[in-house]
Amino acid sequence: MIDSRIGRLGIIAGGGNVPEILLHACDSAGIDTFVVGFEGQTEQAVMHGRNFMLTRLGAAGQIFNALKSHEIKDLVLIGSIRRPSIAELRPDLRTAQFFARVGLKALGDDGLLKTLRGELEREGFIIHGVQEFVTDLLAPAGEVGRYKPKKTDWADIERGIEVSQSLGILDVGQSVIVQEDIVLGLEAAEGTDELIRRCTGLRRKGRGGVLVKTCKPQQDHDFDLPAIGPQTVRLCAQTGLAGIVVEAGTSLLIDREQIRQLADEHKLFVTAIDLKEKRHAA
């Protein structure tokens, strides 16, 4: 439920269309917004007709000053970010001070997000997850569409969950593709869609493999929740995978209705599993 006390929200927007979904939800709730977009990362359409600033990732001082000048206290960080090198970052003094204090180890996904949250909170900002404003993004347990995993798929699903969670502990990625108990590929810096493409030539004959994408065990649920959208379903269909498994309650389904339509059209299952309850929909 949206906190009625939030009248103005700062949105630090990466790529993809989730920032736009969030903006529309804020419009409906009567929440004023201010968007921080990044050069070469944020979709231009997200900022169209909005109060916004466009800057580089390394301009922390400029970003903090702009947010405070617009009387922003509440923030959501949402959207994909291509991680730059230090040279590409071109850090300003505020950003340089941040890295001098926390070290380059913070460039790992989980480490960076945790230290970034601490830095924002020290500046007086309150961090929120996108799911507080767009509640129907979170995947409920069960199937999206009419198809369910076959009995023979469950060995691959269980193997995929085990590997994905282990991968997450190492702060490497969130996704894995498994077929006949063989791990075809693990997600690294390339992202889920490129993982699917990379595994196209590795798939064996017979029943297609399964894409499993889960939340890292140490994940801050206000940042970087695993997400799938229509493009992921299309790619899985094109590469002959049998289905997709995500973690219920901690994964985002971007355009659930289109995901359902595509899954049914291509006879794929899309299933959300509650890992805490250790159960799946029958």
Distance of CA 160 to the CA centre of its chain: 18
For residue 270, how many other CB atoms are within 10 A of its CB?
28
Q: What does the domain layout of the chain look like in residue ranges?
A: 8-132, 138-273
Q: Which tens digits make up the pLDDT trace of 45-94?
A: 899 999 999 998 888 889 999 999 999 999 999 988 777 666 667 777 88
How does strand 52-55 pair with strand 32-38? parallel
Share of the chain above pLDDT 90, in %: 58
- In angstroms, the CA 44 to CA 111 distance is 29
Question: Is the domain 138-273 a CATH 3.40.718.10 member?
Answer: no
pLDDT at residue number 279: 46
Tens-digit pLDDT profile for residues 149-170: 999 999 999 999 999 999 888 8
- Helix segments in 70-179, DSSP class H: 86-89, 93-102, 109-122, 154-169
- pTM for this entry: 0.85
pLDDT at 224: 74
Give the pLDDT band of residue 16 (cuts 50, 70, 90): confident
Cα–Cα dist 71/87, whole Å: 32
Structural domain 8-132, CATH architecture? 3-Layer(aba) Sandwich (3.40)
